Every structure is written in C-alpha cells, then in structure tokens.
Amino acid sequence: MAHRFSFRLIAAALALMAAACGRAAPASNTTSAAGEVWPQPDPSQLADGPRKQEVLYGEALIRRTYEVAGPHVANPDLRYAGNNLACGSCHLDGGRRRYGLSLIGVAGAYPRDMARENAMQSLAQRINGCFERSMNGRALPEDSREMRAIIAYIEFLSEAAPAEMEGRGAPPAPLMNRAADPVRGASVYRANCVACHGADGQGLRNAEGGGYAYPPLWGPDSFNTGAGMHRIITAANFIRANMPFGVTHEAPQLTEQDAFDVAAYINVQPRPERRGLDRDYPDRTRKPVDAPFPPYSDEFSQEQHTFGPWPEINAAREAQGRR
C-alpha cells in the first residue's frame, strides 16, 4: 500500500539518528493545580475474602499482563496478549494516574456508543479491543476468570468516582497549523526518550519476571496499527502529559510541537499490522480526523489525515455540520 511505502521511506531516513537523553524522576500526580484531590484506590486495603482476591488478580492483569496473560505463560489457554507489554504501559500506575489514561471512573462509562464499531459497546468488549490492538493479542472470553477480574478491578477503582471524571484521559493540545514532522521528531526523541526506550525504540526489559521496565515503542513486541496510540493526536496528548516518565500534565517538559513531532516519529516506525482496518468506523463521518488508514468520508489525503495539518479537515467537517 502507498502509505506503508511512504512511512518506511521516512523511517529509513531516520534510522541512523540516535543519542543519549536525560531521564526525569517519578513524581506524584494526585492533586490538581486547583487543589482537587485525585483518588488513589488501594486494593490491598480491602477486607480479606473472595472479592479482594478477584480485585488483586485484576490488578495483576493490568500491571503485569505479560506475566499473567502474556505470550509465554505456561498455560497456553491464558496467552491472550500477543506482546510482552502490560496494560499499565499505557494506563499508568495500574490505571490510577491522573491524565495517564486512568481507569478511575471507567466502569460507569459503559456501555457506551463507540464510533469505531458504530454501536453500543460493553466494558468487556472495550477491554477486548485493547487486548486485540494495544496488546496485539486475542479476545478474552467474556465469562472467563480473567475478564471478570479485570472488570472487578476497574469497578473497584471506579467506586464513588463519576463516569466522566476530569483527568481520566489525556488533556488535548491545540492542533498545529502544520503537519507533524517525524524528522524533527527524531531529534526530540533522541533528546528526551532514548535513555528509557532506547535508540532502537525497543525499551528496557525487566531484570526479572519478563515484561519491560520501559516498553518498546515500535517493533514486533509493541502495539499494532489498530491501536489508539497509532494515531498521532492520541499519542501526542498522552506523551505531553506524561513523558518523559515522571512529568505531570501540570508541568510538561515537552512543547506541544515536540509532542506532535515525536509522536509522528514513533508512528512511522514498523510495528505489527492489524488486518481489516477498513472495517473500522463503518460510519465514515465518525472517523477520527487523525485516523491513518482509509477509507475516509472526505477528499483529504491519507497523508494529511495521518500527519496533519488537521484544522483544515476539521473546518471542512464543521462546514458540513459535523465534527
């Protein structure tokens, strides 16, 4: 396909660029600038019993997915993940980090209407979307012990939290009036990301127990092309609020341009391909502006949808009475 060819050309042009970088220390992220306290539910404080054990198993599945349901676990029936990431690679601090794709409040947000399927989707279906895309694996049976445990953990995190709690996603940055630049992004990457994720983007393995201390950002053990992180706007918002590791959304280290450009650099690199992406967003008018794969409901190019500039596309959508 033409877009794969162009991505590979860009990646080849960047392949020799590498250097060391600084690493930020971990920081607390439990209180907003306005003084609003962000909850930090701790399942170890639950009363002993079956519910505690189920919630703790769910926490293990989120924090150490590779160890419990990864591609190399002893029981083949439990090899749901196709890579050695953890759900917590994106849902930081076990889904508890403010603006770190938190899972707090998520239980009350489902079922919900999902544009990707153009249908109502349950929490279990949403979890399986992550396993099939971000974890490059296969769906969990909805009645399995593992699915029940993950849902129990999310429900525990969500107790007394509103479904649309501020801080659950990543704060959106204003869209640039230029295209995201993966060549400039390579410079951002080597200045800010290499010490943790490596010059080759393959991350840093844990000393024991499998998985990664810092996950690979591309390559065969990373998320596939159907994952949300493979969209540049989604990745840039997450990166600016949380990276380099330890920064907070209130004191970002990267500029908005840095975040968009480094997200572009990461997403032109090779990774597992998900088949059938043309079937995503069956109502093309609901397709995200930065979806990097056709078909589209407008005449803008795949390159512009992928890299931007996006304001022009949004303006055309608004002129047609849609977003």
Least confident of 135-139, 172-176, 208-212, 267-271: 208-212
Q: What is the pLDDT of residues 164-182, one digit of tens each?
A: 788 988 999 999 999 999 9
Within 10 Å of residue 85's Cβ, how many Cβ atoms? 24
pTM here is: 0.88
- Domains 1-27+175-215+226-323 and 43-158 agree in fold: yes
Q: Fold for 43-158, please state it.
A: Cytochrome Bc1 Complex; Chain D, domain 2 (1.10.760)
Question: Which stretch, 118-127, 163-172, 200-209, has highest mean pLDDT?
Answer: 118-127
Q: Which of 199, 196, 192, 258 is nearest to 15 (CA)?
A: 199
| 289 alpha-carbon distance from chain centroid | 17
Q: Which of 105, 86, 84, 108 is nearest to 96 (CA)?
A: 105
Least confident of 39-53, 153-167, 174-188: 153-167
Beta partners for 37? 31
Check: CB of residue 140 under 8 Å from CB of residue 133: no
For residue 35, pLDDT beyond 60: no
Where exactly are the structural domains of the chain? Answer: 1-27+175-215+226-323, 43-158
pLDDT at 209: 78
Per the structure block, which two tokens stand in for 251? 């004191």
DSSP annotation string for 32-55 = -TT-PBPP---GGGSPSSHHHHHH
| DSSP H stretches of helix in the chain | 2-14, 50-63, 65-69, 92-95, 123-133, 145-158, 182-192, 194-197, 232-242, 256-267, 302-307, 311-319
- What integer is the mean pLDDT of 203-219? 95
- In this structure, whether the domain defined by 1-27+175-215+226-323 belongs to CATH 1.10.760.10 is answered with yes
- What integer is the mean pLDDT of 8-29? 39
- What integer is the mean pLDDT of 43-56? 98
Q: How far is CA 185 from CA 120, 218, 251, 255, 256, in A?
A: 37, 15, 20, 12, 12
Q: Is the CA virtual torsion 244, 261, 30, 134 positive or negative?
A: negative
Confidence of residue 314 (pLDDT cuts 50, 70, 90): very high
Residue 23 burial (C-beta neighbours within 10 Å; 0-12, 13-18, 19+) = middle
Query: Cα(62)–Cα(126) distance, rounded to whole angstroms?
Result: 14
Least confident of 130-134, 215-219, 242-246: 242-246
